[in-house]
Amino acid sequence: MSQFVLASGSPRRRQLLARLGLEFTVLAPDVDETRLPEEPADVYVRRIAGLNAATIMEGIVLAADTTVVLDGQVMGKPGGPTEAVEMLTRLSGMTHTVFSGVCSNGPAGLLSKVVRTDVTMAKLAPGQIDWYVATGEPLDKAGAYGMQGIGMALVANLVGSVSNVIGLPLDTAVALLTRQGVEVMGG
């Protein structure tokens, strides 16, 4: 029997939680993830994570949403290779912020937290960007790069949670699940 429900279709979130040896069911809710006009990124990811957690009506639920912000502009998943190149060109040599909203819903009620990580990209040559985009890795990731893969080579510095940049700050997920009564990491 599963201990909780992961309300997410993200394979990266599934992989991160599975590494902890947790048993869970995956249900990807169908919610409108449109960002509201002028909605700050941290408010946006908390809202979407909360919507995802509240949509599943069975057991203890964990949900998350992650976005990348550069100079106040939210960068979602690229629409294709051309947009991925544009995103990576903008991120090259710059520091951006990754926000994840994490929410749990269960006996302790609806609990949420927003985690922030600042990431500085290496200065990338156009050929490096083209090569990376051609791998296909950046096409389904906010900001057009993946820390869990070869995209890690693009990052010069990181302040905060590595797992947050991958899509789920594990320390926060563990804390929220524990508060809901899920036994995590022997606790």
Residues catalogued as catalytic: 65
- Residue 112 and residue 183 in contact, taking contact as beta carbons nearer than 8 Å: no
Q: Is 82 helix (H, G, I), strand (E, B) or coil?
A: helix
Q: Which two tokens stand for residue 49?
A: 């994570």
Half-sphere exposure for 183 (CA within 13 Å, toward CB): 3
Q: In 75-90, which positions are buried (b, 16+ CB within 10 angstroms) versus exposed (e)? A: bebbeeeebbbebbeb
DSSP label at residue 140:
G
- Residue 63 and residue 102 in contact, taking contact as beta carbons nearer than 8 Å: yes
Distances, alpha carbon 186 to alpha carbons 20, 22, 51, 62, 96, in Å: 10, 11, 29, 19, 35
